Structure 1
C-alpha cells in the first residue's frame, strides 16, 4: 500500500533565546543617528554583509529607566557604542536594546579600580567631541564630593523656593559680568565683617529713600572730590563738634561757640562758589531668563481609550502577505516597509 506523504506546511518561527551584543551604526560622518522615537540601528558581530551604516538593521527601541508621555529619561546610544540586544519573548523581529557596554577600546570615564567609589555621568559634545558635561559623585569616606561641569551654559528654573546651606566657606568666581534681579525685597545679614573692593566705578541708584545707620564711626575718604547735593535741605548735625577744614583754614563749631581761623577772612567780598561734578549713576543691565522646558504631559492610560480594530492577515495557507485579500493588511505594510531583501 502506498500513501502520498506531504511534510507539514506550518514551520515554527525561529526563536533567539538570550542576548547578543552589537555596535550602533549610522550614516557616514554622523555621530548620533536616531528616529523620533529614540530608536537606533545596529550591526551584529556575526553580520558580514552590512556596511555599518544606516541600513544595517531595522530600528531598535532603547530601554530607559523611565519613559512617560513627554517626560522621563532620554539617553541615545551613539554610533560606535557596543550595546546589549535582547529579543522580546525570543522573537527575532522584536529586538530591543537593554544597555550599553564598555570594552577595551571604550573605557570608563575614570581609571578603575582607583576611582571605584565614583558614580559618574559624563557626556561628549557632538559633533567633534571637544567638550563634555559631567555629574560626578564621590563616595570615598572622608572625601565625599559632588562635582558638576557644564561645557557651555547652565540654566536653572525653580518654580517656588530655593534653600542653600553651606556649612563652611563659599567661593564664587565669575569671569565675565554678573547680573541679579529681585522682583521683591532682598535681605542680607552679615554676622562678621564685610569686605568689598571695587577696582573701577561704583554706581548706586535708589528710587526712594536711603537709610544708613552706623553704631560707631562713619569714615569716608575721596582722593579728589566729595560732592553732596540736595534739592531742598542739607542738614549736618553733631552732638559735640563740627569742623570744616581746607588747607590752613577751618571753621569749628562746638558748645563754646563758632571759631573761624585762616590767613584771611572775607565776608561779602565777591567770588563764586565751586561747583561739584554731580552724580550720574549708570543703571544695571537686564537679567536674562533661564531656559524653561515645561513639565511633561501626564501619562495617558491608552488601554482604556477606544481604538480602531485591526484585522488579522488573511493570506492563503500557502501564500504570502502579498496575497492577502484585505485592502489594508498590516503584515503587507510591514513587509513593504523593509524594502527588497
Structure 2
C-alpha cells in the first residue's frame, strides 16, 4: 500500500485504523431533514484480511474536495463492513457510515417522564446514553408534559415520534472529527452553506465556465395536499369544554380544503391543540412548492440554505433550503492499471423556499399497549390511602426500573354520578388492574383490583367459596374492620353486617322489615335476635308517633328498673285479663271482676274515699275494726247488728 496515498485525491477516507490503511474508492451518500444519513463507501486495500473491530462504532470521515479549495466532510459512525472481493489487484471493502442517532435503534427502554418538556426529555435521553454531539436551535416554547411514557420502543423511535408530533426536526453538521445533530423548529435555525451559499445555474448546454459549485438542472413542483387539520379531545376536569381546534392552509386551488380530522388529539388545553394542529398541517403541506436540482455542489447539505443565481426564470432566483441530498463521488485511480485519474462528483438535491416552514412527516408510530396490565398502588409516606379530589391514585408499574410513582390515574367505578355513586379507594400495596385508553401508554385507567400472595381474599378459599361480600380494614394500622357479607350456602343462607365501632341508620320515611319462619339462636328458636353487648340504646321519635304491632306475644325482661314518664295520658287495654304481680301481691283485672290479693292491703286517702256498689260485702275471719276518729254514721233501710 505504500505506493498509494490519498493526498491530492478528490476524496480522503480517514478511519481509526490509521492513515491510508484503506483508501477511498467511491461513495454514495444520502441525507435529508429528519433522516439518518447513509454513506456507503467502497474502499480498497492491498490486504485481504483487515480487522475493522478497532474502528467499528467509531467516527470515520470522508473529506471531499470541490471548487476553490472548498472541502465537505461526510462524518459518521462505522456500523458495517463487508469484504467485496478483488478488483484490479486491490481488495475491495464496503463500509457503511451512519449518524450516532441511528445507533439509538439498538437500545430500548420502558420508563416515563413527568412534568418535563419535549426538549428536556430528548436531552435526558441523549445525555443518559452518553451522546453530547447535539445542539438545540429551537424558537418555540414547549410546556411540560404531565406524563410521557417510553413503552417497549427504541430510544430512536421514542425521540423521533416526540419530535414529529411537536414540530421538531433535525439535520447534521459535519466536521472532520464528528457530526453534530441540530434540532430545529423554524427557518431561523438555518444558515447558508459554505462560501455564502451562492449557487449559480449553468445548464449543460451552452458555453459556461464552471469554476464554482453549480447546478445544471432545475425543476419546480406543486403537489396536492390536504389543506385543513381539525383535532378534538376531552378533558374530564372540564367535561363541557369545547376543545375542537382547526388550522387551514393558505392554498386556494380546487379541493384545497380537504380536511384531516382526528380524535383524540392528545391535549387538554386548547392552546396546545392549536399548536399540534398547526404542526400537522405544516407537515402535510411541507411536501408542496418543492424544487429539484442536479449539479456539482458537494457543500449542499439538508438544512443548509443556498441562493440560486443565473436562472433564466427570474422568479426562481431566490433563497432555498435543502431538504434532501444525494451525492456520488468516484475515484477509481487505485484500481486503474494505467494509473489515470477518473475523479467525478454528481449530486441530486431537493429544496423548499427558505421562508417555508418544514415539518417532518408523522411516520413514527406510537406504541400501543395490547391488553391490560397490573401495578401496585403507592402514595405518600406514612399514609395508607393517597387520593386527590377526583379519587385518582398513583401506582408503580412492575416494568419501571426507576421505581417511580406514576401520574394521577383515574379509577373506574361501578357507579359514578354528581356527588353520588360508589366509592372504594385502592390502598397502598394493593395490586390494581390498569387499562389504557385506545391502548395509549400515556392514558392509563384503573379498572379493578386483584388478589395476590401478599394480599389474600378476606375469606379462606375454597372452603368458604359460597361467601361473598365486603370486608374493610381499619386505617391507619389495621386491627379492626367493617364487614357486610352474604352466605349463599344452601339451607344456611345469611346476610351478615358488622360495624367496628358505630352504626348509623337514617330512614327518612318508613322502614319495613318482614321476618319469615323461625330460625335457631343461642337463646332458642326466634325469628329475630338483636344483641347490644356494650353501651346504651336510644330511640328518638321527635315529631311523629311510635306504633308497634305484634301478632302474638311480647315478653320484656328487664334486669333492673323500668321508668315510664307520660306527660299526658296512659291507656292500657286488655281484652281478657290484666295482671299486675309484685312478689305475693297481685291485682287481676278481668272483664267482669277485679281481684286484689296480698298479705296486707292498705287503702289511704287524705281527703275522702267512696265505695259504691249494688251489693257490698265486707268480711274478716278475725277482727274487723271501723274507726271514724270522730263520728260514725251508719244509715240504711234496716240496720241489723248481731
TM-score by length of 1: 0.64
Unaligned runs of 5+ in 2: 1-26, 36-359, 519-526, 604-610, 632-642
**Correspondent of 2:537 among 175, 178, 182:** 178
Counterparts of 1:14 and 1:248 in 2: how far apart (Å)?
Answer: 99
Q: Counting helix residues as a fraction of each chain, which structure ranks higher?
A: 2
- Which residue matches 2:435? 86
Counterparts of 2:451 and 2:547 in 1: how far apart (Å)?
Answer: 51
TM-score by length of 2: 0.36
Spell out the pairing of 1:1-341 with structure 2 (5 A cutoff): 4-6=30-32, 7-8=34-35, 9=360, 10=362, 11-50=364-403, 56-167=405-516, 168=518, 169-175=527-533, 176-182=535-541, 183-222=543-582, 255=615, 257-259=617-619, 262=623, 264-268=625-629
Q: CA deviation at 1:40?
A: 0.9
Q: Is the 8 A contact 1:241 1:254 kept in 2?
A: no
Q: Identify if the C-alpha distance between structure 1 residues 265 and 31 changes in structure 2 by more than 3 Å, giving closer, same or farther.
A: same
Counterparts of 2:593 and 2:378 in 1: how far apart (Å)?
Answer: 87
Q: Counting strand residues as a fraction of each chain, which structure ranks higher?
A: 2
Q: Of the two, which has the highest radius of gyration?
A: 2
Count of equivalent residues: 255
Counterparts of 1:215 and 1:240 in 2: how far apart (Å)?
Answer: 13
Per chain length, whose mean CA-contact separation is higher, i.e. which structure has more relative contact order (CA < 8 Å, sep 6+)? 1
Counterparts of 1:127 and 1:243 in 2: how far apart (Å)?
Answer: 64
Q: CA deviation at 1:98?
A: 1.4
Q: CA deviation at 1:247?
A: 5.4
Q: Identify if the C-alpha distance between structure 1 residues 75 and 255 changes in structure 2 by more than 3 Å, giving closer, same or farther.
A: same
Counterparts of 1:256 and 1:85 in 2: how far apart (Å)?
Answer: 93
Q: CA deviation at 1:223?
A: 5.9
Match of 2:31, SS state, is coil
RMSD (CA atoms): 3.5
Q: CA deviation at 1:239?
A: 6.7
Match of 1:219, SS state, is strand
Counterparts of 2:366 and 2:530 in 1: how far apart (Å)?
Answer: 64
Match of 1:89, SS state, is helix
Q: Identify if the C-alpha distance between structure 1 residues 204 and 90 changes in structure 2 by more than 3 Å, giving closer, same or farther.
A: same
Q: Identify if the C-alpha distance between structure 1 residues 27 and 263 changes in structure 2 by more than 3 Å, giving closer, same or farther.
A: same
- Which residue matches 1:321? none
